[in-house]
Amino acid sequence: MTDQTSTAPVPRGTLRCITFWYGRLLDWLLVASVAILVFPVSLQIFSRFTQLIPAYIWTEEMARLLFIWMIMIGANVGIREAAHFTVDVLPRLGRRGEAVMTLVSGVFILAFALVFLIWGIEFTEFAMNRISELAELPLWMIHVAWPVTGATWLLFQGQHMVDAIRVLTGRDQ
């Protein structure tokens, strides 16, 4: 089975299929957030240096919201691709050595994911009935990025760790 838009095969298994399509959605959301971010930032720049466009104050808050989401979605994509927290210091360790390093680093990533998830929920609850001053956006729309990111890291890093355990136990195909 292959995806219609690419030659990459869609993984087998329900969870792998869900994470595959969720990853594709994140890719598109990242592209959209960057593309949309250009609009309020451009308005800010043009309104500062020309008299053609009035100075819009809401653009600063909109740019901040999009920038936060862009960073969080980018971090999710980095975890999915196992590239975000990787530093090549050690020589090539082989499949089993790489699996051990994935598990060791994965523990730290999971710890950060739990921090983002647990305190992100509290952070979002704090902002639930609040609005931003200028654009009057509900603040939970910004704050919910943290628990969503934490849950996404748990999902993607959990999948990487399951794969590493399969390599170590010899059940990898």
Q: What is the pLDDT of residues 101-151, one digit of tens each?
A: 889 989 999 999 999 999 999 999 999 999 888 778 889 999 999 999 999
Q: How far is CA 165 from the centre of its chain?
A: 24
27-61 pLDDT per residue, tens: 999 999 999 999 988 888 888 787 766 666 778 88
Q: What is the pLDDT of residue 173?
A: 60
- pTM of the complete model: 0.81
Burial of residue 148 (CB within 10 Å: 0-12, 13-18, 19+) is: middle
Residue 166 has pLDDT above 70, yes or no: yes
Q: From 32, 10, 36, select the one nearest 21 (Cα to Cα).
A: 10
Length of the chain: 173
* Token pair recorded at residue 100: 């051990």
Q: How far is it, in rounded angstroms, from Cα 20 to Cα 57?
A: 39
Domain residues of the chain, as ranges? 14-169
When computed from its CA atoms, the radius of gyration of the chain, rounded to whole angstroms, is: 20
Percentage of the chain beyond pLDDT 70 is: 87
Task: Quote the pLDDT of residue 24.
Answer: 95
Q: What is the DSSP letter of 138?
A: B
Assign 3 a pLDDT band (cuts: 50, 70, 90): very low
Distance between CA atoms of residues 144 and 165, nearest Å: 32
